[in-house]
A = this chain, B = another copy of it.
Amino acid sequence: MGEEEEQQKHEVNFGAPRKFAKSFKSDLKETFLPDDPFRSYKNESKIVQAKKTVQYFFPIFEWLPRYNLKLFWADLLAGITIASLAIPQGISYAKLAQIPPIIGLYSSFVPPLIYAVFGSSKDLAIGTVASCSLLFPAIIGRVVPPTNDPSLYLHLVYTATFFAGVLQAGLGIFRLGFLVDFLSHSTILGFMTGTAIIIALQQFKAMFGLTKFTTHTDVVSVLHAIFAQFHQWQWRPAVMGFVFLAFLIFTRHLKKKNPKLFWVPAISPMVVVVVGALFVYFTKANFQTVGDLKKGLNPISIHYLNFNSKYLSSTVQAGVITGILSLAEGIAIGRSFATMRNYQTDGNKEMTAIGLMNIVGSFTSCYLATGPFSKTAVNNSAGCKTAMSNVVMALCMMLTLLFIAPLFSYTPLVALSALIISAMLGLIAHEEIYHLLQVDKFDFIIAVSAVLGITFVSMDVGLGISVGLSILRALLYVARPSICKLGNIPNTKFYRDMHQYPCATRVKDVLILQLGSPLYFSNSSYIRERIFRWIEEEQGNQHEVHYLVLDMGGSTNIDTSGIEMFTELKKMVEKRGVKIMLANPRLEVTEKLILSGFIDDIGKKSVFLSIDDAVAASKFKLIEDFNSKHYSERVVSNAADKDLSDAQVVNMEEGNGSSENKKGGDSQ
């Protein structure tokens, strides 16, 4: 293989920049269609394409044709199990949301049916969730307290559910799923824990049979309200509540010991509700009960949606916050179970499905539903095979609504409170948060700030602080990229962080820095000043620096501020007698540096495929400088000349032969 051909292969590819339309299209595709949903369409007939399109938009057509009786038996069992959980959960979360308990039952009838048609998860069980239920009184209750005008308040909850659904479906349809990614794992952990704490505390109102209570949700107000009324505590409901709570915790403990007994905690809420209701019915005890559950299916509520500008800001706010939170929960949980069972869910499709079910739900007297963790886990343990288990649950709910709903009106509130406390205890993620402390301090701070903000101020403040810190961190990363000084790992051609690899040795007369981030407006002045400081430090430490090699392999992009930074940096370091060399610039960066003329400014021969090439070239140039006794501008300007550069390569290898041989030249 000739030396000339050899040299060619080592060069940086300075090909013509891609057309804007082409790179723009590929950027757009990566942003909005990262999963490339149409890739399986290529090379298929029209009929297959049409069939796949229908299946894409209605995943039910993917699994229904292959559905059989064996699958149905599994789904039937799972569906009945989650229905027995859905009834008590529906009633108790509706109480949390301060809406009539029957709405909670309605919300487990219509949304699961819609989800079964559009959803792509096989495990997700649809129902209401505690955290979002509490957010409605916290946000809408500020404008219309639920006790003042219950029906207006309920209509605003429908409206917020509608907005949440529109937002969720919109995010899915416009493929903006990545916005949900901005709720970090640690924010969600902190939010769940903080909310679980305040929701559990709220339950002591019913546990002690108190009639007056604070409207605040923070720990201090709630504890004050509980203990200030010590003399109004009613002991009979409290005893019943703690017995139920102990029973629920015991059944969960049972399951942990023997996973086969998963159905015990799954039906225990139903047991608590039924036992409680029977107890009240037969003893005629003077307990607060759920009261007033009418027979009948969901009435139409589309005409109740209230877009009055007076309430619009709070309904939109409630819709956006609950919409994003419930989406994050539903998608994360769907994905976890899909990974466990080795299939894929489609995030954007899931969003559309969850959004559609909430839109339809808001038309049919339902409030916000998603795929809660507890219910989904039970569904999975009960052996569900497809989304058919949601259909079964919906049918069970229908039968309940049509025939036996009034029976639940005797359910004592204290039974529901025991249920909620027991559920919330499972959501307090103190172990995970402690794990964050060990692995990543900043994530720990994000989670703890959510917990403290929620427990001591309010839910939206806690969430806001935590999301704000997460985004600040992302921005800080962009503003303060890590730059490190590289040294040669002895006897190799590799250059690594000298801090990480103490064995790495400094290359004489050359400062090698790795830029580990895109070069954007937000970090360009930092990078310029930081690099300049490296040079000053090196030169201050009696190390000569003639060449500055910038490893650009980690810089995925550059903007005009970044390019300007390079131009300024070049001027600054040249005044200190230092020349800039670039190693391994990536595609987008190379294109823009060419377009802006910076590559021509430093010369194409100052851009190298690898750090090793740059170091080798710098040695050659130093020797040449030494030979001509003074720094010759001619050499640098002529370096672009092909003939001379080939000669350089030869010279270089001869000149450094002894050290090169040790390393094993890669061109022989």
Contacts and interface: CB of A to CB of B under 8 A. Distances in A.
Contact of A34 (B178, B494, B530): B530
A575 B342 contact: yes
Contacts of A533: 34-36
A545 to B, nearest CB: 17
A564 B335 CA distance: 13
A557 B554 CA distance: 12
B664 A497 contact: no
A596 B525 CA distance: 34
Contact of A480 (B31, B443, B481): B31
A572 interface: yes
B489 A9 contact: yes
A402 interface: no
Given A481-B556, A517-B556, A184 B10 contact: no
Contacts of A344: 532
Nearest to A612: B494
Interface string A334-364: 0100010010100100000000000000000
A387 to B, nearest CB: 21
A491 interface: yes
B186 A500 contact: no
B526 A34 contact: yes
Given A36-B533, A442-B559, A497 B587 contact: yes
A392 to B, nearest CB: 29
Contacts of A371: none
B518 A477 contact: yes
A497 B436 CA distance: 35
A516 B181 contact: no
A553 interface: yes
A281 to B, nearest CB: 48
Contacts of A586: 482, 484, 497, 500, 516
A30 interface: yes
Nearest to A499: B587
A146 to B, nearest CB: 31
A20 interface: yes
Interface in A461-504: 470-471, 473-482, 484, 489-494, 496-497, 499-503
Contact of A10 (B481, B492, B564): B492
B556 A184 contact: no
A482 B588 contact: yes
A441 interface: yes
Contact of A520 (B435, B477, B492): B477
26 contacts: A1-B491, A9-B492, A34-B530, A39-B537, A178-B522, A181-B522, A181-B526, A182-B479, A185-B559, A186-B559, A347-B525, A439-B595, A439-B596, A440-B560, A440-B592, A470-B521, A470-B522, A474-B520, A484-B586, A491-B666, A492-B666, A516-B555, A517-B556, A554-B555, A664-B664, A664-B665
Interface of A: 1, 6, 9-10, 13, 20, 24, 30-31, 34-36, 39, 178, 181-187, 335, 339, 342, 344, 347, 435-436, 438-443, 470-471, 473-482, 484, 489-494, 496-497, 499-503, 514, 516-518, 520-526, 529-530, 532-533, 537, 553-561, 563-564, 568, 571-572, 575, 584, 586-588, 590, 592, 595-596, 609-610, 663-668
Given A181-B479, A471-B475, 13 more contacts: A10-B489, A13-B500, A181-B525, A184-B520, A186-B521, A186-B559, A339-B571, A344-B532, A443-B560, A482-B586, A500-B590, A516-B586, A664-B668
4 closest A-B pairs by CB: A184-B521, A554-B554, A516-B556, A185-B561
